[in-house]
Every structure is written in C-alpha cells, then in structure tokens.
Amino acid sequence: VSLRLSADTAAIPASTVKILVASAAIDVLGAEYTFTTRVVGAKPVDGVVNDDLVLIGGGDPLLSGDWYPNSNLDRYPVFGHTSLDELARSLSANGVTSIAGRVLGDGSRYDDEWYYDEWGAGTAGIEAGPIDALMANDARIEGDDYRALDPVAGASREFVRRLNAAGIQVLGGSGVGSPSADAIELARVTSLPLSLVIKEMLQNSDNNTAEMLVKE
C-alpha cells in the first residue's frame, strides 16, 4: 500500500489540534490559571435566601457533581473535576438552609454559540457540546438519560440536586438569569490549575474541555 503525502491534500486534523489549544492556553492564560464558579444572591436571613440564587459560570470545563466521574456515561471518565457538591456544601456550612426563590444559571461570560455550524453530522451533542461558560457534567443532569439542550439551564437544574443533597431546600425550581445589582457572593469553588485541566483534556481527548479553553 502506497501512502501519498501532499501539502495540497485536505485532511481532518482531529485531536492533534488539542496540542495547539494547550500551547495557546498556557501562553495566554498561564499554567496556574484557575476557573471560578460563584454563587450570588441576597444575604440569608435565618438561613433563608429570600430571592433567587444565581450560579455564575466562570468557564470551568470540569465542573461536575461528585457522581459524574463514576457514572460510566463516558468512555474516558472526567478526572480532576471541580466539585459542584463542594460548592453546595459550602453554602450549607455558611448557614444556608433554603432558597425561597429559584436557582438561576448565568453563562454570560461567553456567547451562546453552544455548537458550531461547521461541525460534521453526528458531532453536536454527541462528540462535543452544548458548551457555555456555565456547564456541569458535560451538560448532563443526574438521573436524566440525555444531555440538556441548554447547558446553562442544565447546570442550574443539576445544582438544585446538589443543593438538595447538601440539605438545602429550593422552593422555586430552576432557570436561566442574571443576578440583581445588589446580590452578594455567598460561595465559590475554584478549579485545579490550568496545567492539570489540560492534562485531562489531552489524556481523555476531551472535546468539551478543548472547545471551552478556546472560548476562554
């Protein structure tokens, strides 16, 4: 079998492009760069947040519930995840017991181009996406068979489950929205350094991580 190499022959670069993404990310952001996911809302009164709670995405591609790495939903499970459960538990540790309003997701750090038109058939929602600045479990919700169509709405739904697991009641459901001007930070969770996020991307050939690093 002969193999003809030509600079004029188009070829699909596939995951080799992740090496370029990794190099650019380290160059632009730095190896110690971290992603921060924040929770903001009204100051709790007797443990109750008497308004909506807003989960603000910081572009963290590995934000996940603690169940997700062991879920067997992916051929190569995510590792080094940023714990959405830890974020919920920190709210509980700060005395929050219930949310009178809704849990809203805010992905406004990035645009809402969840997929790319240039992707081939069978890619969107399977090989990659939907992606946004707020995404949890690669847009999955514990107990659902399919990815959320809207990654931000999916993350807010997932966070309600994590809050419930931490003993915090949510009375108003979930949705998508922005914080009020007087909202204060109630909790935050920070990712591992970018160098370790890149390790996950390269070892797992994680398309979502790569796409989100390009956005960042």
Chain segment 68-125, per-residue pLDDT in tens: 999 988 889 999 999 999 999 999 999 999 999 999 999 999 999 999 888 888 888 8
89-102 burial by CB neighbour count: b if 16+ within 10 A, else e? bbbbeeebebbbbb
Predicted local confidence at residue 1, as pLDDT: 47
Out of 7-16, 122-131, 199-208, least confident range: 7-16
Q: Indicate the angle between helix axes 151-165 and 84-93, nearest 10 degrees.
A: 50
Predicted local confidence at residue 62, as pLDDT: 98
Q: Percent of the chain beyond pLDDT 70? A: 95
Measured CA angle at 100 (ends 98, 101), to 5 deg: 125
- The Cα-based distances of 145 to 34, 54, 56 in angstroms read 30, 25, 25
Where residue 15 falls among pLDDT bands split at 50, 70, 90?
Answer: confident
**Phi then psi dihedrals of residue 115, to 5 deg:** -130, 170
Burial class (CB in 10 A: 0-12, 13-18, 19+), 190: middle
**Phi then psi dihedrals of residue 64, to 5 deg:** -155, 155
The average confidence (pLDDT) of the chain is: 94
Burial class (CB in 10 A: 0-12, 13-18, 19+), 1: exposed
Q: What is the DSSP letter of 43?
A: P
More confident residue, 62 or 146: 62
Reported pTM: 0.92
Q: Percent of the chain beyond pLDDT 90? A: 83
Predicted local confidence at residue 23, as pLDDT: 98
Predicted local confidence at residue 3, as pLDDT: 56
> At residue 141, does pLDDT exceed 80?
yes
> At residue 174, does pLDDT exceed 60?
yes
Q: How far apart are CA 76 and CA 74, in angstroms?
A: 5
Predicted local confidence at residue 8, as pLDDT: 76
Predicted local confidence at residue 2, as pLDDT: 54
7-34 burial by CB neighbour count: b if 16+ within 10 A, else e? eeeeeeeeeeebeebbeebbeeeeeeeb
